Amino acid sequence: MNDNIMKKLLVTGGAGFIGSNLSVELSSAGHQVVIVDDFSSARPDFDNIIAGHEIETVRTCFSSEYILDRIRTGEFSTVFHVAAIPRVSYSVERPAETTEVNVSKTAALLEACRHNIERFIFSSSSSVYGGADLLPTPATYTKAPKSPYAWQKSCVEDLIIIFCSLYDMDIVSLRYFNVFGPGQFGGSAYSTAISAWCHAIKNDMQLRKDGTGEQSRDMCYVDNVVSANVKAMNYPGTFVGERLNVACGDRVSNNEILDFLIQRFGKLDIKNVPFREGDVMHTCADISETAEKIGYSPLVRFWDGIEKTLDWWDLNE
């Protein structure tokens, strides 16, 4: 695909944290962007984020007949499927509900897209690996999902391979590792660690520490994810269901982040709680294949990203 040609693009889940950042970047590049989102987990500041951008917003489910009919007309060149019920712990509590959205409705979306779009870019997850013994973990590593959410992402990846084979579709799965950054709100039982900790510090609340805090993550700043999606859209070849890691290729532990926050803000009220069900101890990505395939490299490393995130929360002096 020629990155100089303006395209009409559909972003599912475009009112959420990752989807909104992606939509604004695509619009800023001159593309026509349509967001579909049911607003069940939309950013509270969504209207402000898209202000000044000519982005069409459709408030409905991504698998509604209205959206599927528009796809079938050939209106969109690329579909970015970001929408999902994303939290591991929520999927453990509600496996049927999350499977319906994350698998069945995604299958309906894929079915509408066959023969009607040029490229489908799926937002997958590092959780498909389970607790990988090999770190950094290559995209070829055997999948071993440990939660309904992880299995749902893995299931769609497998379905994508079948769609590419049966219907000659152009699809790639981008496996995100622990995305964080400005616009990711805390305050929910399902919030990610960094957004929850920033929310707690901002509101003088207790911080939650799961387990020993020794668990480590390949923390990926949101700009890196947006960059990977844009590079995947502009890839000049044909995708046949490749799975590509999107991360930084290094990791940081929860204890290291908490120590940093204590040094920055002084003594914090930290409550120790058990490990969350379905969580793994360590993640770290091998991003060499992503670099080779689409020219990806992380734009923002973790410690720069955490400073930018604290700025957004107005926590830096």
Question: In angstroms, how far is CA 175 from the centroid of its own chain?
Answer: 8
Confirm whether 58 is domain-assigned: yes
Percent of the chain with pLDDT over 90: 92
Question: In angstroms, how far is CA 251 from the centroid of its own chain?
Answer: 17
Length of the chain counted residue by residue: 317
Does pLDDT of 4 surpass 70?
no
Confirm whether 274 is domain-assigned: no
Can you give the residue range of the structural domain that contains 229?
Answer: 8-180+221-248+286-299
Q: Quote the pLDDT of residue 316.
A: 84
Question: In angstroms, how far is CA 260 from the centroid of its own chain?
Answer: 25
The whole-angstrom separation of Cα 59 and Cα 13 is 10
- CATH code, domain carrying 239: 3.40.50.720
Confirm whether 22 is domain-assigned: yes
What's the total number of domains in the chain? 1
pTM for the structure as a whole? 0.96
The whole-angstrom separation of Cα 240 and Cα 160 is 8
Does pLDDT of 190 surpass 70?
yes
The whole-angstrom separation of Cα 101 and Cα 105 is 5
Confirm whether 90 is domain-assigned: yes
Does pLDDT of 30 surpass 50?
yes
Confirm whether 149 is domain-assigned: yes
| Phi and psi at residue 185, to the nearest 5° | -85, 150
Does pLDDT of 114 surpass 60?
yes
Confirm whether 124 is domain-assigned: yes
Confirm whether 278 is domain-assigned: no
Tens of pLDDT along 77-93? 999 999 999 888 899 99
What is each CA distance from 203 to 17, 187, 190, 191, 307, in whole angstroms? 21, 10, 17, 15, 18
Q: Residue 109 corresponds to which tokens in the numbers above?
A: 């979306």
Q: Please name the helix (run of DSSP H) or strand (run of DSSP E) that holds residue 220, with its range, or none.
A: strand 220-221
Confirm whether 170 is domain-assigned: yes
